[in-house]
Amino acid sequence: MADQAEKLRDLVEERAEEEAQARQVGELYLGVGENTRVIAITSGKGGVGKTNLAVNLSVGLQQAGQRVLLIDADIGMANVNLLMGSVANRSLLDLLENDVELEDVIEEGAAGVKYISGVAGVEAAMNVNRMEQKKLHRKLARCSELADVIIIDTGAGLNRNVIEFVLAAEEVLLITTPEPTALADAYAVIKAYSTYTDRRNIRLVINRIRDEEECYAVVEKINQTTKKFLNVTIGCLGYIYEDRAVIEAVHKQEPFVILNEKSPAARCIFELAQSLLSGEKMNSVSRGWRGFLDKLFGY
């Protein structure tokens, strides 16, 4: 973890310097007062349920009356479109083409959720140059006009791309399963971010549990460690049951909240959506989507 922590430190220092410069020219707080909520979904270990949570929660929020835009930022392993049950013709990075505008890359998936597909198999995708970043920044800015909530499916772990999206987001959902390896990796993520972000913006979602008690036990286990070594407590937004309906829906390439809305996992998603909507926003001062982009692209 040592070299990853170092990379993270360098990245944050770089960003802090750029933000300080931007503040001087008055660019940074352009986004203040904007209401779009930006929620990044991440995990320590891969394969613990990020994409399923991102897709089904997006549908749940849309059904609850929110306009949702889901962005697949899992560079290299993009598969939101697979679970959305629609074919994506374009992806995020097509915005780099001069004649491609935001509307061209937005697809419509299940329940009318809008989404922007990621780029499969392109490892260097985010290593775009400064000019290209500016282009992406400008073209993505209007996303906030189209959505009340923007959900971002990031990759797992502490790669540079993941870190950038998580640090820029105002709210972060850290998903884990009860497996010891997943818990260890979730802790590593909390530890890495704890130095740099306001820890209150990270909340846990415990996936693949057998009963409610298991969720409480997992949250307590994580918090015993975070309290002891980091002196922080991480809140939990909710849980999702281990459920065959999830696996069946993945095979059918449809969100389980639509295919089997009464399944235990689907009910959990509806509860998570309600908790997000009824609970306090995590930060009182909202930077909104523009604030997110400013941070992501280092302005």
Residue 45 as a binder of Mg ion (CB under 5 A): the answer is no
Angle between helices 2-24 and 180-194 (to 10 degrees): 40
Nearer to Mg ion, 49 or 238 (CB): 49
> Taking a C-beta distance cutoff of 8 angstroms, is the pair 259, 111 a contact?
no
Q: Are 36 and 144 in contact (CB under 8 A)?
A: yes
Regarding 91 and contact with ligand ATP (CB under 6 A), the answer is no
51 binds Mg ion (CB under 5 A): yes
Using Cβ positions, the residue closest to Mg ion within the complex turns out to be 51
- How many angstroms separate the CA atoms of 203 and 121, rounded? 29
Q: Residue 137 and residue 154: Cα distance in Å, rounded?
A: 18
Site string for ligand ATP, 155-184 (x = CB under 6 A): -x----------------------------
Give min distance, CB of 128 to ligand ATP, in A: 22
168, 292 contact by CB (below 8 A)? yes
Among 208, 287, 290, 295, binds ligand ATP (CB under 6 A): 208
Instruction: Look up residue 76 and give its DSSP letter.
Output: B
CB atoms within 10 A of CB 36: 23
Shortest Å, Cβ 250 to ligand ATP: 4
What is the Cα–Cα distance from 162 to 262, expressed in whole angstroms? 33
**Ramachandran sector of residue 169 (left: φ over 0; alpha: ψ -120 to 50; beta: rest):** beta
Binding mask 33-72 for ligand ATP (x = CB under 6 A): ----------x--xxxxxxx--------------------
Please identify, using beta-carbon distances, which residue of 28 and 39 lies nearer to ligand ATP: 39
- Member of 164, 171, 243, 294 binding ligand ATP (CB under 6 A): 243
* Structural element, H or E, at residue 227: helix 212-230
The CB-of-96 to ligand ATP minimum distance in angstroms stands at 23
Q: Of 38, 66, 68, 74, which one interacts with ligand ATP (CB under 6 A)? A: 74
Q: Is 238 in the site for ligand ATP (CB under 6 A)?
A: no
Q: Taking CB under 6 A as the rule, does residue 206 contact ligand ATP? A: no
Q: How far is the CB of 136 from ligand ATP (least distance, A)?
A: 22
**Among candidates 42, 25, 24, which has minimal Cα distance to 158?**
42
The footprint of Mg ion (CB under 5 A) covers 50-51
